[in-house]
Copies of this chain bind each other. A is one copy, B any other.
Amino acid sequence: MVEPGLNEATVEGPLGADDLRKIDSYWRAANYLSVGQIYLLDNPLLREPLRPEHVKARLLGHWGTTPGLNFIYVHLNRVIRARDLDAIFVCGPGHGGPGVVANTYLEGTYSEIYPDISQDAEGMRRLFRQFSFPGGIPSHVAPETPGSINEGGELGYSLLHAYGAAFDNPDLLVACVIGDGEAETGALAASWHSNKFLDPVHDGAVLPILHLNGYKIANPTILARLSHEALADLLSGYGHEPFFVEGSDPAEVHQKMAGTLDAALDRIAYIQAEARGGNKETLPPRWPMIVLRTPKGWTGPKEVDGLKTEGFWRSHQVPISDVRGNPAHLLLLEDWMRSYAPEKLFDAAGKLIPELAALAPDGARRMSANPHANGGLLMRQLRLPDLRDYAVAVQTPGRAQAEATRVTGEYLRDVMRLNAETRNFRLMGPDETASNRLDAVFEASDRVWMEPILPEDVHLAHEGRVMEVLSENLCQGWLEGYLLTGRHGFFSCYEAFIHIVDSMVNQHAKWLKVARGLGWRRPIASLNYLLTSHVWRQDHNGFSHQDPGFIDHVVNKKADIVRVYLPPDANCLLWATDHCLRTYNRINVIVAGKQPAPQWLSIEEALTHCTAGIGIWDFASNDQGGEPDVVMACAGDVPTLETLAAVNLLRDHLPSLKIRVVNVVDLMTLQPKEAHPHGLTDREFDALFTTDKPVIFAYHGYPHLIHRLTYSRTNHANIHVRGYIEEGTTTTPFDMTVLNGLDRFHLAISVIQRAPGLATPAAHVIQRFRDKLIEHKDYIRRTGDDMPEIRDWVWPYQADAA
């Protein structure tokens, strides 16, 4: 007997009749479960006629992309079994949730993880009910979905995550479905060129499957309406060998898909064998990819209320609406669901029949149970060098000069070396590793580059582990995929341009928050940023390169996910780098400059100071443990420098003034203990900042953030913050601070104006500082450089003079 949806006459191709029948049945089972999730509250197996009360009151979900995903999934299952593949499934089409969930349920993983959703009628009822339901699961693939490393909410990152997963996993196949809607996004459009960074010797394979179902929410898609020739050109231009699978007759498309998948996997095996056998002539490889063109909402209702639905955008979400209130719609839904013949797919108990269950791979070979997609299971701690070995010697504060990022570059070089064998650490950056002065890493690894390498090229190699491409999106997406599959990484970026990935960071933070609540998802390594080339040192780039707002952006995320560090010198940056590489499930943001700058703390002092995250700098304070007249706080390398220079000015001119200097490395310490795990208690905060003395706070970024973090503190009304107030331009380093009122003179004037008990002599000092500012302006206008007394200023006191 011919199964529903299959036409016996067309059965020819790689699949035998029996295999074809089974694959199609499995697909129907997944489609049935998908429709059930969107619509049903009860009567999951349709063992009685469908009644309005069996249907959800609020119909929410997405059908359109789902049958195509189910189709791909069952075909991947076939080749995984046939070839014993180690494979994961990355689902790009945003709202394919019902399909992927259905498949993970069919292969048993879902019930293993969520025992309430058992493989029987009651479990199926719960499976249906929870979908897009309060307390249930979202309509897209999400952290809750077993086997997923890609949230289907914000679109565009599937292919990047797929590549991130494949790097350094030579035996892994990452099947990545890309929706034709998603393909219009910037991140996805750029990520096709990721294949230029995939080494067939040491990395696994990515098999992109571009799924053209033709429509977005209410529009055709660009790629689906390209001519065949233009699309083939485009994909060839991306460096792929495209295989086309197109049609709407299930039997025919099953045969084409099976044959094509075999061909593509043969091609991958060939590329890998050649490369691993040492043949460089086939490089860069032309990796295969599949274009699958099938109708949107395939196998769904052809028409609803006389309007074309299957094969059109009307099947994008819920094709039949108002099912409870419209008897004709109820009947249409029932007919549709019964067209899959659930009685032939599930046994009396409601479990998938054994003949079909046998189609799924076993154990960890199931894509939903593959440990790579729950990367924490595979994560190994990094081997880290002793950071003391890289320390800048600081006998007297402020005398030694160093470029902080250059020092950290040496540390990272050795992280690279110590983990070379396990190949689980990568450095990402948009073409800025050397420009950000981390170039010591090139002593340990080159940049990965699969395109031709010329004799004059430096530090390019197929097996490089430094990843540079002029796209923050690509760096971010690759790193996310790499971390999510259990590895470690570090992303250095120009501070201003990290905003390009604001939205990706949001989504990663959301993933982490949800994943932390799922016991079965194991912790993954933190996402670590080093933001350098920061706002204060854009001497020639000027205003367009000045934006410290990424800190503000991440601080909106859940407190237990986010950390922000502002190391004031090289030894503190070493600590921050080392610390962040040891953490997991977090987003760590470090901001530090790359320019030569005075060094304040010895490595031992740095360890103590940074571990506390905040503290009084005794060497710079003259309140000798008593109550100060004024607190000068600073966070960030440039604000620290200007604060100490201001202390110098004040001590020279007003030696009786008692100044306390508080330096903040860990910005989160400023928040109340209840708001953040690193927050100081009010008592601790008051002990540092006093309850009533003026606090002049020099901050790296937008001043408001400090107010926001401290608004509930006792002394808040006395905290006067200076920071970046969007006054940027092309100018000297010191002039940038002057324009924003963060320079030593403005800080010192601010102190004098607020410190109690300073009358006539102080006015004279203020005038002197104002004159200096005028002198400065005149000097740079003439010379283009800062005055030597400012540029070359050195902290004048011995360590023991404090």
Q: Which residues of A contact B (CB under 8 A)?
A: 41, 56-58, 60-61, 129, 132-140, 142, 151-156, 181-182, 184-193, 196, 216-222, 225-226, 230-239, 308, 312, 431-435, 447, 449, 451-452, 454, 456-457, 460, 468-471, 473-474, 496-497, 499-500, 502-503, 506-507, 510, 513-514, 539-545, 547, 549, 552-553, 556-558, 702, 704, 707-708, 711, 716, 726, 728-732, 735, 780-781, 783-785
How far is the CB of A781 from the nearest CB of chain B, in Å? 6
How far is the CB of A682 from the nearest CB of chain B, in Å? 14
- The residue on B at minimum CB distance from A226 is B451
- Which residues of chain B are within 8 angstroms of A434 by Cβ–Cβ distance? 217-218
With A186-B185, A502-B502 already in contact, the answer to whether A220 and B552 are too (CB < 8 A) is no
Query: 6 additional contacts, CB 8 Å, given A216-B470, A233-B233, A237-B237?
Result: A132-B539, A138-B729, A184-B470, A186-B191, A312-B456, A500-B502
CA distance A220 to B450 in the complex (A): 11
- The residue on B at minimum CB distance from A238 is B234
- Which residues of chain B are within 8 angstroms of A785 by Cβ–Cβ distance? 57-58
- Which residues of chain B are within 8 angstroms of A181 by Cβ–Cβ distance? 431, 470
- Contacts A/B (CB < 8 Å), 15 sampled: A58-B539, A58-B540, A134-B732, A138-B543, A139-B730, A154-B545, A185-B471, A189-B190, A217-B435, A219-B431, A219-B468, A233-B234, A234-B238, A308-B456, A502-B553
- Which residues of chain B are within 8 angstroms of A156 by Cβ–Cβ distance? 186
- The residue on B at minimum CB distance from A95 is B541
A735 touches B186 (CB 8 A): no
Partner of A708, one of B506, B542, B707: B707
CA distance A61 to B711 in the complex (A): 43
- The residue on B at minimum CB distance from A547 is B506
- The residue on B at minimum CB distance from A229 is B236
- Which residues of chain B are within 8 angstroms of A539 by Cβ–Cβ distance? 58, 60, 132
- Which residues of chain B are within 8 angstroms of A232 by Cβ–Cβ distance? 237
With A153-B545, A184-B190, A730-B133 already in contact, the answer to whether A220 and B457 are too (CB < 8 A) is yes
How far is the CB of A512 from the nearest CB of chain B, in Å? 11
Partner of A185, one of B226, B473, B543: B473
A460 touches B220 (CB 8 A): yes
How far is the CB of A267 from the nearest CB of chain B, in Å? 17
- The residue on B at minimum CB distance from A192 is B189
With A187-B186, A784-B57, A784-B133 already in contact, the answer to whether A154 and B544 are too (CB < 8 A) is yes
How far is the CB of A17 from the nearest CB of chain B, in Å? 35
B503 touches A500 (CB 8 A): yes
Partner of A552, one of B239, B499, B552, B711: B552
A154 touches B500 (CB 8 A): yes
- Which residues of chain B are within 8 angstroms of A726 by Cβ–Cβ distance? 513, 556-558
CA distance A136 to B729 in the complex (A): 8
A540 touches B185 (CB 8 A): no
A220 touches B449 (CB 8 A): yes
CA distance A783 to B222 in the complex (A): 40
- Which residues of chain B are within 8 angstroms of A708 by Cβ–Cβ distance? 704, 707-708, 711
B544 touches A507 (CB 8 A): yes
CA distance A664 to B152 in the complex (A): 35
CA distance A196 to B231 in the complex (A): 14
CA distance A154 to B496 in the complex (A): 9
- The residue on B at minimum CB distance from A137 is B730
- Which residues of chain B are within 8 angstroms of A431 by Cβ–Cβ distance? 181, 216-219
CA distance A456 to B514 in the complex (A): 41
B510 touches A499 (CB 8 A): no
CA distance A731 to B181 in the complex (A): 26
Q: Which of A234, A434, A468, A500 has the most CB of B within 10 A?
A: A500
CA distance A729 to B17 in the complex (A): 45
With A185-B473, A193-B184, A222-B469 already in contact, the answer to whether A61 and B540 are too (CB < 8 A) is yes
- Which residues of chain B are within 8 angstroms of A451 by Cβ–Cβ distance? 220, 222, 225-226
A544 touches B502 (CB 8 A): no
- Which residues of chain B are within 8 angstroms of A781 by Cβ–Cβ distance? 134-135
How far is the CB of A359 from the nearest CB of chain B, in Å? 30
With A58-B784, A181-B470, A547-B506 already in contact, the answer to whether A139 and B234 are too (CB < 8 A) is no
- Which residues of chain B are within 8 angstroms of A193 by Cβ–Cβ distance? 184, 189, 222
- Which residues of chain B are within 8 angstroms of A707 by Cβ–Cβ distance? 707-708, 711
Partner of A711, one of B233, B543, B716: B716
How far is the CB of A295 from the nearest CB of chain B, in Å? 12
Q: Which of A134, A312, A502 has the most CB of B within 10 A?
A: A134
How far is the CB of A700 from the nearest CB of chain B, in Å? 14
CA distance A486 to B526 in the complex (A): 46
A140 touches B502 (CB 8 A): no
A134 touches B784 (CB 8 A): yes
Partner of A447, one of B129, B138, B219, B473: B219
CA distance A513 to B184 in the complex (A): 31
Partner of A132, one of B135, B557, B558, B730: B730
- Which residues of chain B are within 8 angstroms of A135 by Cβ–Cβ distance? 729-731, 780-781
Q: Which of A216, A218, A435, A514 has the most CB of B within 10 A?
A: A218
B556 touches A549 (CB 8 A): yes
A452 touches B151 (CB 8 A): no
- Which residues of chain B are within 8 angstroms of A556 by Cβ–Cβ distance? 549, 552, 702, 704, 726
How far is the CB of A488 from the nearest CB of chain B, in Å? 23
CA distance A735 to B135 in the complex (A): 10
CA distance A726 to B192 in the complex (A): 33
CA distance A708 to B555 in the complex (A): 13
- Which residues of chain B are within 8 angstroms of A449 by Cβ–Cβ distance? 219-220
CA distance A191 to B708 in the complex (A): 38
- The residue on B at minimum CB distance from A224 is B451
A186 touches B182 (CB 8 A): no
- Which residues of chain B are within 8 angstroms of A557 by Cβ–Cβ distance? 726
CA distance A153 to B432 in the complex (A): 15
With A539-B60, A730-B139 already in contact, the answer to whether A470 and B155 are too (CB < 8 A) is yes
The 9 closest A-B pairs by CB, nearest first: A234-B237, A153-B544, A186-B186, A60-B540, A233-B237, A138-B542, A189-B190, A499-B503, A225-B451
Q: Which of A156, A544, A545 has the most CB of B within 10 A?
A: A544
B544 touches A549 (CB 8 A): no
- Which residues of chain B are within 8 angstroms of A473 by Cβ–Cβ distance? 185-186
CA distance A707 to B707 in the complex (A): 8
CA distance A547 to B504 in the complex (A): 12
CA distance A628 to B704 in the complex (A): 30
- Which residues of chain B are within 8 angstroms of A134 by Cβ–Cβ distance? 730-732, 735, 780-781, 784
CA distance A552 to B704 in the complex (A): 11
CA distance A662 to B18 in the complex (A): 71
